Structure 1
Amino acid sequence: MIHFFRKLRQSLLEGNKFNRYLLYALGEIILVVMGILIALQINNANEDRKSAIQEELYLRRLLTENREDIRTFTQNIADLNKGIETIKGLSKALTEPDHSDEQLLLAARDFFQYGSIYPVFSSSTSTFDDLSSTGNLKLIRNTELREQIVKHYAKHKQISEWIRVGTEWALPNDAPFTYSNSIMRFEPASAFLFGDQLPADLVAHLRDKKIEYINNAAVHFWINRDAIDRLESLVLDTTIIIDEIDKELNR
């Protein structure tokens, strides 16, 4: 084919048919441009297809991680609620006269095991971090969904920071209380380190330091309560994100 066009061009030049040669040259240019445009279109179509595949992979990873987050947040909320119940139990055992010594000791042990634990925040952000650091967020073509995802993970950071601030506020008060009252003797795992202890002595200590123990329990109550509220809000937000991603994948 190339040989044919070369011969045609040569014959036009030799025959002094310059106008025809110009038309031929113009046609040849048009053919070349059309070929380039078709090649670009095919290349763009391939790139769009690759981007769509990559977008789907990212969305499915986000879907998996957010479903895992729901389970994590729900378990954290359950643990914090259990801690709050032990806080309430200790308060009742210290303030209500109808509670026996045995009930007070049990309430104190439950509190130190569950209620005095600080809330933690843990979430799966590896896919979002990947999208952000590589600039691949633009692969998510639905701009509204993309903005929702960005705001969603900004909320993760806000809640993590809020819980950290609460912990740092409480620790300077909690640590001296823990040490000065030797609360580890109420923990079954470490009680043996303190030698034989009479239950009556432990009860007397708890009643004598009643206000200190209630103050400490109140600190953990407010930290836990605030963390629960924020995690419940994040569970709702995560549920919405899961639903939106699922809709996008099924379009």
Structure 2
Amino acid sequence: MISIFRKIRKKFFSNKLSSYLLYAIGEIVLVMIGILLALQVNNWNEERKQNIQLKSILKKVRIDLVADTLRAKPILQFYDSINKYSTKVINKDYDAKTIQSCLLCRSLTTLYQPFVVQDKGYNMLKNFEELETRKNDSLQNTILQFYKQMTDMLDQSNEFVKSETLKNLDYFKSQPWFVDWMQGRFTEDMKDYFGESVDYRNRVASNFILASQNHANFIKVHRDNAVELIDQIDDRLESN
């Protein structure tokens, strides 16, 4: 009889232990599932926040690009005028008798227009890219590469053209007619220099290549690429 009770008790405790183990395992699985779901929801929320932030940054980049394209227009028009009259001076279309009729001709080498890139949105995008883990966004990478290349190029071009312009202005300062030139008067010596001298034609030719051509071309490249980026940003914003 005792042996029978022992068997019953053993079976009872064995079943109870199995039930406890199954219950404990089930609880652990439920907790793990809950944690995974919470992590997934958190990831979704973080991704949503990142998308909202990126969308806001792209809008700012777009505003900067539009501002750049608008700013480029009058600068390129300015250099078109410089090119037009520089070509006339280089080709000797003017001489000492006719140079006075061209007011811009006496200032071709002492005028320049810098082009400053609007980069607030770009800096925001750089900071966003450094903080977030997403590195495979093609539009984001394209914008960052575009700004890095064009900003460096235009900054160097601005400094170079400015330096050349100041050199020409310093040369003018050394001439006896500088005060007359500054005050808009045209003396006989000035007519000879601006209308006949090889030195001035050389300076105009140099400025034509370095400023009117190279500098203006950099601005055109920036403008044209900015227009393309604006279209890409619009497509991204519309798709979101």
Written as runs of structure 1 = structure 2, the 5 A alignment for 1:1-251 is 16=13, 17-90=16-89, 96=94, 101=97, 103-107=98-102, 109-112=103-106, 116-136=110-130, 138=132, 143-156=137-150, 157-168=152-163, 170-171=164-165, 173-181=167-175, 182-187=177-182, 190-191=183-184, 202-207=187-192, 210-222=197-209, 223-251=211-239
Contact 2:110 2:169 (C-alpha < 8 Å) held by counterparts:
no
Aligned-partner Cα distance in 1 for 2:137–2:205: 45
Which piece of structure 1 moves more, 68-77 or 143-152?
A: 143-152
Contact preservation (8 Å) 1:87, 1:115? no
- Superposed CA offset, 1:128-173 (max 9, x none): 12222454585777632222112211232123213423443x2574
Cα distance, 1:32–1:234 mapped onto 2, change above 3 Å: same
Q: Do 1:51 and 1:139's aligned partners in 2 also have CA atoms closer than 8 Å?
A: no
How far residue 37 of structure 1 moved from its aligned partner, in angstroms, is 1.5
Instruction: Give 1:46 shift.
Output: 0.9
Q: Does the C-alpha gap of structure 1 residues 137 and 111 become closer, same or farther in structure 2, counting only changes over 3 Å?
A: farther
Unaligned runs of 5+ in 2: 1-11
Matched with 1:7 is none
Cα distance per residue 1:186-219 (max 9 Å; x no partner) = 34xx35xxxxx6x5xx134421562232223223
CA 1:217–1:152 in structure 2 vs 1: closer, same or farther (change >3 Å)?
A: same
Matched letter for residue 203 of structure 1: E
Change (3 A) 1:96 1:42: closer
Amino acid aligned to 1:206: K
Between the aligned partners of 1:126 and 1:50, the Cα distance in structure 2 is 21
* 2: CA distance, partners of 1:137 / 1:245: 21
Mapped partners of 1:126, 1:139: distance in 2: 21
Q: Provide closer, same or farther for how the CA distance between residues 35 and 96 of structure 1 changes in structure 2, counting only shifts above 3 A.
A: closer
Distance 1:134 1:48, change over 3 A: closer
TM-score (normalizing by structure 1): 0.75
Cα shift at 1:71: 1.0
What displacement does 1:61 show? 1.0
The aligned counterpart of 1:3 is none
- TM-score, length-normalised on structure 2? 0.78
Change (3 A) 1:75 1:205: closer
Which contiguous aligned blocks of 4+ residues in structure 1 show a shift greater than 4 angstroms? Answer: 89-92, 94-97, 112-115, 136-142
Count of residue correspondences: 221
> In terms of mean alpha carbon deviation, does 220-229 or 154-163 score higher?
154-163
SS of the counterpart of 2:57? helix
Residue-by-residue CA offset, 1:66-121 (whole Å, 9 max, x unaligned): 111111122211111122233345556x6546x8x4x52242x3234566312412
Offset at residue 240 of structure 1 (A)? 1.5
Judged with a 3 Å threshold, the aligned counterparts in structure 2 of structure 1 residues 122 and 112 are, in CA distance, closer, same or farther, namely farther
Structure 1 segments unaligned to the other structure (5+ residues): 1-14, 192-196
Q: Residues of 2 paired with 1:65 and 1:172: CA distance?
A: 30
Q: 1:165 to 1:132 in 2, by over 3 A?
A: same
Asked if 2 retains the 8 angstrom alpha-carbon contact of 1:90 and 1:111, the reply is yes
Range with greater deviation from structure 2 (141-150 or 116-125): 141-150
Aligned to 1:5: none
